[in-house]
Amino acid sequence: MTKSRIAAIDVGNDAVKANFGRMEDSYYIPNVIARDMEDRPVIGIEELDDKDPLDNLHIRVHSPALAENNAVYRVGNLATKTNNSTELDPGSSKSEEDQTLIMLFASIALDAVSDGTFKVTKNDIVDATYTLGTGLPLREVKEGKDVGYRSQLLGSVHQVEFLITPKYQGKKVNISFDEVKVYPEGFAAYVNLIMDNELNVINKELIDKQILIQDIGGLSTDIAVIRNRNVDDDKAQGFHLGVAESLEEIREEIRTKHGIELDSRRDVVDIITRKNNRHHIMVKGSRTNVHDITDRILLELAKKEYRYLRNVWQKNSQSEICYFVGGGSAVLKDYLKALNNKLDGFNIEFFEDEGESIWMMANAYYKLIMDYINKNTSAETTEKSAANKEK
């Protein structure tokens, strides 16, 4: 029987957050890619294997699910150092972008070669099988795009070849899935609120409440209405608005005003959220305040996000609380709190631990896929027991 490894992966617009196995292995990879040549130049190539593979992901990806098949990419931190890097565009659908699949396959391949679960053949090929839990924005699930996304993953073998990557150069990973579960992101956040990593129910007081979950991502905002322990499909709403466009606006204004070129949106997020010297950049060696730029742009975005909350709450007046989740919520938290105190005074909650908010989806997918595996195993055990009794 083929050994299958658990993968719970949130391909966020800012970064991929991935949990593998029994949650003992995890990766955080900026969601940035750049087309590249196969034989990329490396200074000090003899020291390549001393470097961190996570910072030097250089791969070729072969999959019939991709529009551009068999292409070579820099991925994550390595891609941010180029002038041709790409991030997901506002208005795009996560389920229809090659970049989503490339990031998904890259994180899985990295786990496959580093964990030791799967054997490496003499030809440096790893055949890896995974049981995957992942998700899509509510809007895309409501449009039925999860079905096509799932079938793309299940229906083929996908290959990642490590090119000039420390420790793994020359290795190829053939990825197949024995099961793929695609969950709506809003429901996943709810599961994370009421269930711990051992699948025990916590926060029992939330189970029978009507609650809202506003998930602010890079490219989209989802507001899930949870009642009777399920997402109300008719009430749930998705919007083509996230923090990516505002981050790009901040990046452009900093470039225009101060002549500083930031590598990616990730750099802007760091400027906004870091604990020390927040809203400052270095200009010609001098620390420079850019709060006037970040404050104005983020406040405008927060006003739009707050209007979404107000409109949904008015249509679901018996809601008791709204939880803000996602990387965008961490960026806008202070602005949304200030607006709420000044205006409606809704019962809203943020996660003070920004890491918890950012990892919420990946952790939720882990809990959901584990719950699926446990139920499946239990059902198989019951069937075998019944068959033995018949004998």
Helix (H) or strand (E) holding 70: none
User: pLDDT tens for residues 227-272?
Assistant: 877 888 788 888 888 898 999 999 999 999 999 998 888 889 889 9
The letter for the amino acid at 143 is E
Q: Tell me: do 295 and 215 sit in the same domain.
A: yes
Q: Tell me: do 161 and 57 sit in the same domain.
A: yes
Cα separation values, 173 from 186, 248, 279, 339, Å: 32, 35, 42, 49
Structure tokens at 316: 């679901």
Q: How confident is the model at residue 391 (pLDDT cuts 50, 70, 90)?
A: low
Domain CATH code at residue 44? 3.30.420.40
Residue 230, domain member (yes or no): yes
List of residues 6+ apart from 1 with CB closer than 8 A? none
Mean pLDDT for the chain overall:
89
Q: Residue 46's pLDDT is what?
A: 55
DSSP assignment letter at 89: P
Please state the domain count of the chain. Answer: 2
Q: Tell me: do 315 and 213 sit in the same domain.
A: yes
Q: How confident is the model at residue 386 (pLDDT cuts 50, 70, 90)?
A: low
Q: Tell me: do 128 and 268 sit in the same domain.
A: no
Q: Tell me: do 51 and 172 sit in the same domain.
A: yes
Q: Which residue range is the domain that position 280 belongs to? A: 208-358
* 98 and 67 Cβ atoms separated by less than 8 Å: yes
* 113 and 171 Cβ atoms separated by less than 8 Å: yes
Residue 196, domain member (yes or no): no
Would the pLDDT of 35 be above 70? Answer: yes
Q: How confident is the model at residue 2 (pLDDT cuts 50, 70, 90)?
A: low
Q: Residue 69's pLDDT is what?
A: 94
Whole-number CA gyration radius for the chain: 22
Would the pLDDT of 164 be above 80? Answer: yes
Q: Tell me: do 165 and 258 sit in the same domain.
A: no
User: pLDDT tens for residues 291-323?
Assistant: 999 999 999 999 999 999 999 999 999 999 999
Q: Residue 384's pLDDT is what?
A: 65
Q: Tell me: do 343 and 375 sit in the same domain.
A: no
- Average pLDDT of the segment spanning 13-19: 91
User: pLDDT tens for residues 95-123?
Assistant: 999 999 999 999 999 999 998 889 989 89
Residue 129, domain member (yes or no): yes
Q: Tell me: do 314 and 368 sit in the same domain.
A: no
Residue 78, domain member (yes or no): yes
Q: Residue 236's pLDDT is what?
A: 80
Q: How confident is the model at residue 68 (pLDDT cuts 50, 70, 90)?
A: very high
User: pLDDT tens for residues 69-101?
Assistant: 999 999 999 998 888 888 877 777 889 999 999
Cα separation values, 168 from 10, 30, 43, 365, Å: 24, 20, 18, 28
Q: Tell me: do 280 and 367 sit in the same domain.
A: no
Q: Residue 175's pLDDT is what?
A: 98
Q: How confident is the model at residue 43 (pLDDT cuts 50, 70, 90)?
A: low
User: pLDDT tens for residues 347-384?
Assistant: 999 876 777 778 888 999 999 999 899 888 876 666 66
